[in-house]
Amino acid sequence: MAKEELNMEEPEIIYIPDEEGNEEEFEVIMKFEVESGQFQGNKYMMVVPVESDDSGEETDEVYAFRYEEDGDDLQLYTIDNEQEWDEVEETFNTLVAEMEQEEQS
């Protein structure tokens, strides 16, 4: 069992300020780059809130951001363009389907 624990990957946690400036904790569940189309080369991350309460309930909320890295600096951008959102959603759904298919094999 100790080997399994060692092989488990630590989740990547980021902090995003809300409208009032309070930092909220999010777990990065996926990062990807769009490989074709109008938004080719843009990098995106999908995050889920880390629940601070002890209710034990998981949330289905997934947030997407376009991001840029400059050394240790991470800049997040909301996705306001409907075409960009459609591209991100399609890529995310394709990657999730591929992961599920690999797990079933």
Tokens of 105: 């094999």
User: Per-residue pLDDT for the chain (105 aa), expressed as one digit of tens each?
Assistant: 444 444 457 889 999 988 898 999 999 999 999 888 888 899 999 999 997 555 555 567 889 999 998 888 889 999 999 999 999 999 899 988 998 988 887
Contact call for residues 47 and 58 (beta carbons, < 8 A): no
Residue 64 to residue 99: CA distance in whole angstroms: 18
pTM: 0.77
Quick one: DSSP state of residue 81? -
Contact call for residues 81 and 37 (beta carbons, < 8 A): no
Residue 90 to residue 84: CA distance in whole angstroms: 10
Q: What pLDDT is stored for residue 3 in this prediction?
A: 41
Residue 19 neighbours by CB under 8 Å, 6+ apart: none
